[in-house]
Amino acid sequence: MSGDLMDDDARWAAVLRRDRALDGRFVTGVLTTGIYCRPSCAARHPHRDNIRFFADGAAARSAGLRPCKRCLPDDVARDEGAVLAAIAAIKGSEEPLALADLAGRTGYSPTHFQRVFTRHTGLSPAAYARALREERARQALSDGNRVTDAIYDAGFSGPSRFYENMEGRMGMTASAWVNGGKGATIHWAVVPTSLGDMLVAATTKGVCRLSFAEGRDALEERFPAAELIEGGDAFAALLGQVVEAVEAPTGGFDHIPIDVKGTAFQEAVWRELRKIPAGETRSYSDIAAAVGKPKAVRAAGSANGANNVAVLIPCHRVVRSDGSLGGYAYGLPIKDELLRREGAPGQPRLDDF
């Protein structure tokens, strides 16, 4: 049997939905035909009693099975190698690489390689390269480098290309970012809710911080040079929407703008969190698989914990694989209550909230 944390029922469910995100995590052996397949194999599903799950192709072959000629399960390792080679090429190139160039390095056609890369990383090669340049620029600016130096060092061809790519993403100018938010305006307030005092802060782009039991000092630590303004007429309308969403979280949050920054992987995780419907939960393994990194369960947990905008990016909807609540930055009682309000089924409840 496979040694990962998924049980056989979860593996069978993945086979039934032909989950490409779990390709490479295990293989399905069909004992009646003597072959083994990827979870996503398009062939007709065998009877449940006729299958056995294996950790990988080597384990299946040692049991006397042969690879399926339709889904080519042993090519998963080749796909991973191709993606890693492409990532190394992207990181090592001073200029953007064309899709055809990357595909040529891996021996795949451009169309097939784009599908493989996107499935493994959650981003297209072009989007990954842009995210990498933006991440490098943010890091260089945060380290105190001159704006112009940071722009060129990050791989942008010039300032105009940098501002074109970063418009609407950083929530403030590059100069403000490097100077701890200097010149940026952040409106904020601490408001009472049924979950306790809640800090809400927003730039002109959207909510950049939502937390519980925090105040102005938390914002000053992140943006020591920003202009922090408590309240404000325009901010009041946004604040009202946020409070309403927290008190009645079943209505959805997509209408509330947010302004968050992270690595490409973190932002991919946060996007997946926002896709979880109210009343449902996911495990850390589910999130890792959804972003195309099924083995990065711990990294998915870290990205979940790095979320700066609680509730609106619903990290509280992620639980352990056994259904228990797991952790939460603002305490399990708040997580438990949020899930109760959303009607998530089958969750263990705390009785001390």
Angstrom distance (rounded) from CA 117 to CA 20: 12
Q: Where are the alpha helices (DSSP H) in the chain?
A: 8-16, 57-62, 75-92, 99-106, 110-121, 125-142, 147-153, 159-166, 174-178, 216-222, 233-247, 264-275, 284-290, 297-305, 332-342
Angstrom distance (rounded) from CA 94 to CA 97: 9
Could you give the angle at the alpha carbon of 283 between the alpha carbons of 281 and 288, nearest 5°? 125
The response to whether 37 counts as a known ligand-binding position is yes
67: CB partners within 8 A, 6+ apart: 35, 36, 57, 60, 61, 73, 74
At position 157, the amino acid (one-letter code) is S
Active site residue 315: yes
Angstrom distance (rounded) from CA 264 to CA 309: 17
Tokens matching residue 19: 């989950």
Handedness of CA 161, 163, 164, 169 (dihedral sign): positive
State the pairing for strand pair 185-193/196-202. Answer: antiparallel
Tokens matching residue 169: 């993403």
Q: Which of 292, 318, 315 is nearest to 127 (CA)?
A: 292
State the pairing for strand pair 66-67/51-54. Answer: unpaired
At position 300, the amino acid (one-letter code) is A
Q: Which of 90, 118, 115 is nearest to 102 (CA)?
A: 90
The response to whether 68 counts as a known ligand-binding position is yes
> Which member of 6, 315, 325, 344 is catalytic?
315
> Which member of 10, 22, 37, 219 is catalytic?
37
Active site residue 208: no
Q: Which of 161, 160, 156 is nearest to 133 (CA)?
A: 156
Give binding residues as ranges: 37, 41, 68, 71
Give binding residues for Zn(2+) as ranges: 37, 41, 68, 71
Enzyme catalytic residues: 37, 315
